[in-house]
Amino acid sequence: MLRLVRPAMAHMASFVDALCEGYSRDTLREETPASIAQVADNPAWLLGQINDAPLTIVLPDGSLGKRVPETALWYVDGDEFLGSVHLRHHLNEVLEQWGGHIGYAVRPSAQGRGHASAMLAGMLDHARVHHPQLERVMLTVNLKNPASMRVVEKNGGVLADSIPHPWVPGDMGARYWIALR
């Protein structure tokens, strides 16, 4: 059965498989054999990083930023990991420019089956229930990612503006808002 759940040890073997097939925890940073081995060798450490995230975050330019509280959910079929979706509980200066409230990714072998659309819909429901302070959420998408733009638009995303991508020189990004209430 397809479900959005808190990441747990039962999903870790499949998560490592996903990393090996090209799934990346960060759309701006590819995994390496070393980063995959770190997860494979210590799955409990990764679960701690996800479910009880540190207070700082390494930004794409390598600098250290303050991490906004976030909720990470995994989309699974039984113990099989299919994808992840993150909700940042509020924006800061960095996330207002790029990142927004919600980000998601689907493992390569599971793409094109509606999973990202379902994960985003599920996280919007989660936000409606658990984060009543959020009237609306912002999402950013690289204009070179039409599949993700479609996912956002299918979930009610309204294009606010297009901006130069702050981390990828030459790329443009779209900022969308989705009303929650």
Ligand X SMILES: CC(C)(COP(=O)(O)OP(=O)(O)OC[C@H]1O[C@@H](n2cnc3c(N)ncnc32)[C@H](O)[C@@H]1OP(=O)(O)O)[C@@H](O)C(=O)NCCC(=O)NCCS
Q: Using CB under 6 A as the criterion, which residues of the chain lie in contact with ligand X when the complex forms?
A: 27, 103-106, 111-117, 141, 145-148, 150-151
Rg, Å, the chain Cα set: 16
User: In this complex, which beta carbon is closest to ligand X, that of residue 16 or of residue 173?
Assistant: 173
User: In this complex, which beta carbon is closest to ligand X, that of residue 9 or of residue 158?
Assistant: 158
Nearest alpha-carbon partner for 108 in 50, 31, 179, 165: 31
Query: Least distance in Å: CB of 44 to ligand X?
Result: 25
Identity of residue 3: R
Query: Least distance in Å: CB of 27 to ligand X?
Result: 5
User: In this complex, which beta carbon is closest to ligand X, that of residue 48 or of residue 164?
Assistant: 164
Half-sphere exposure of residue 93: CA atoms within 13 angstroms, side-chain side: 2
Query: Least distance in Å: CB of 21 to ligand X?
Result: 12
Residue nearest to ligand X (CB): 116
User: In this complex, which beta carbon is closest to ligand X, that of residue 12 or of residue 85?
Assistant: 85
User: In this complex, which beta carbon is closest to ligand X, that of residue 16 or of residue 174?
Assistant: 174
Query: Least distance in Å: CB of 132 to ligand X?
Result: 25
53 vs 72: CA distance, rounded Å: 10
Query: Least distance in Å: CB of 120 to ligand X?
Result: 8
DSSP 30: -
30 vs 47: CA distance, rounded Å: 19
107 vs 51: CA distance, rounded Å: 20
DSSP 112: T
Would residue 13 be called left, alpha or beta, if left means φ above 0 and alpha means ψ between -120 and 50 degrees? alpha
